[in-house]
């Protein structure tokens, strides 16, 4: 068995183990992300944070279509914009919800 095949089998087994325990396989991949890539992601997050704060300040406490806003503003794909929206939600910048019509919206997080 070649070294390449052994590596593929190990990766496959690890993916299966992550799935079995409900862990994200991307967590293991994060360790391999270059510092330059991490820096770009941090810059994107900071730019998104500034955009969201200014949008709230100018237009009120609710944003209709927050994922679409991030996609348009930064030229991201849907998955990337959704990940960015989740990061902002985890940082307690906003709360993402669906209105009565089913449209995704974001409300400014009120800090106590």
Query: What domain count does the chain have?
Result: 2
- Report how far apart, in Å, the C-alpha atoms of 77 and of each of 30, 68, 83 are: 20, 9, 10
Q: Tell whether 7 and 44 lie within a shared domain.
A: no
Give residue-wise pLDDT tens across range 35-78.
Answer: 777 788 899 999 999 999 999 999 999 999 999 999 999 999 99
CATH number, domain containing residue 82: 1.10.10.10
| pTM listed for this prediction | 0.64
Angle between helices 35-59 and 78-90 (to 10 degrees): 70
Domain limits for position 23: 1-32
Confidence of residue 33 (pLDDT cuts 50, 70, 90): low
- The pLDDT > 70 percentage for the chain reads 69
32, two tokens: 């391999």
Percentage helix, strand, coil for the chain under 3-state DSSP, each rounded to 5 = 65, 10, 25
Q: Tell whether 68 and 107 lie within a shared domain.
A: yes
Angle between helices 78-90 and 66-74 (to 10 degrees): 120
Q: Tell whether 61 and 107 lie within a shared domain.
A: yes
Confidence of residue 25 (pLDDT cuts 50, 70, 90): very low
């Amino acid at each position: 068995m070649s070294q390449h095949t052994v590596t593929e089998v190990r990766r496959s087994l690890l993916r299966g183990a992550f799935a079995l325990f409900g862990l994200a396989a991307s967590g293991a991949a994060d360790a391999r992300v270059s510092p330059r890539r991490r820096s770009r992601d941090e810059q994107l997050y900071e730019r998104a944070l500034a955009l969201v704060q200014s949008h709230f300040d100018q237009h009120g406490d609710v944003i209709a279509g927050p994922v679409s806003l991030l996609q348009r503003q930064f030229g991201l794909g849907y998955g990337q914009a959704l990940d960015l929206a989740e990061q902002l939600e985890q940082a307690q910048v906003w709360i993402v919800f669906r209105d009565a019509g089913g449209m995704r919206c974001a409300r400014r997080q009120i800090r106590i």
